[in-house]
Amino acid sequence: MREQLITVLDFFGLACWLEITTNHPECIYYFGPFLSQREAQSYSQGYIEDLKGENAVGIIMKFKRCKPKTLTIFDENMSYSKSAIVI
């Protein structure tokens, strides 16, 4: 039942996703979908540890209700949101 709810929310772009941006490499990563921001938060440290293990720096994390088309985006001309959490 829970997975079906997440699927429906994701279909409509209402599921919660964790967006992590790194300065080096210049990437945006999407992790999810999750039912809530609280659930996404519970997984965030593991994702951040993995990125740090790959020597990523300038890690910025924020939560979004969206429907990402791509889970990893590499773009040299990215801009960062002021509402993000810098780690």
pLDDT digit of tens for each residue in the chain (87 aa)?
Answer: 999 999 999 999 999 999 999 999 999 999 999 999 999 999 999 999 999 999 999 999 999 999 999 999 987 555 555 455 555
Integer Cα distance of 16 and 33 in angstroms: 6
pTM for the structure as a whole: 0.81
Number of domains the chain is built from? 1
Dihedral pair phi/psi, residue 53, rounded to 5°: -65, -25
Q: 21 is in which domain, residue-wise? A: 2-86
